[in-house]
Amino acid sequence: MGSHIALAVVAVALLGASRAQAAGGCVDQARAAFDAKFPALYGPDAAIEQVKSLQVVEQESLAWVANCVHCPQKPFGNANGKWEAFKQLVRPADCVVRFSTNPRSWERQQGQQGYALIREGSLVKTFLIMRN
């Protein structure tokens, strides 16, 4: 019976490691796609992280939108239609990341922040939430 427990522990550890590698692979793919298309805006100083789920993104957005009395109480407020269109493009094997361009891009008034859909290493679509 002890060997079954040991095998279960190993399986859980491997599952966690493969998920971490998948997340790292997703971020690596996103970074490469951004760097290829917009080399001056990204690079190693850009912030790119995989989102946990689209539902978590929407919950976080609703918390922000709740403070806006003039905004529709939907994910991303007035930009909800664009968000819904973005979500419709997402397939199960896709990677969705939150990104922010590098600090130099913000200093040059070229900064962007938002979400990106990455499919098989290619940038499919972005949903911007901030730019200057």
99: β partners:
48, 114
Measured CA to CA in angstroms, residue 76 lies from 29, 63, 98, 100, 107 at distances of: 26, 10, 14, 17, 26
Q: Determine the residue type at 109.
A: Q
**The two three-digit tokens of residue 32, written as one number:** 């490469």
Tokens of 80: 């909800």
Q: The domain containing residue 17 runs over which residues? A: 2-131
Domain total in the chain: 1
Going by pLDDT thresholds of 50, 70 and 90, the confidence category of residue 13 is: very low
Q: Which residue has the tokens 């951004």?
A: 34
Instruction: Give residue 23's pLDDT.
Output: 55
- The model's pLDDT over 49-59, given as tens digits with 9 standing for 90+, comes to 999 999 999 99
30, two tokens: 């996103």
Radius of gyration, alpha carbons of the chain:
18
Q: Is the pLDDT of residue 102 over 70?
A: yes
Average pLDDT over residues 75-90: 97
Q: What is the pLDDT of residue 2?
A: 45
**pLDDT of 125 over the 80 cut:** yes
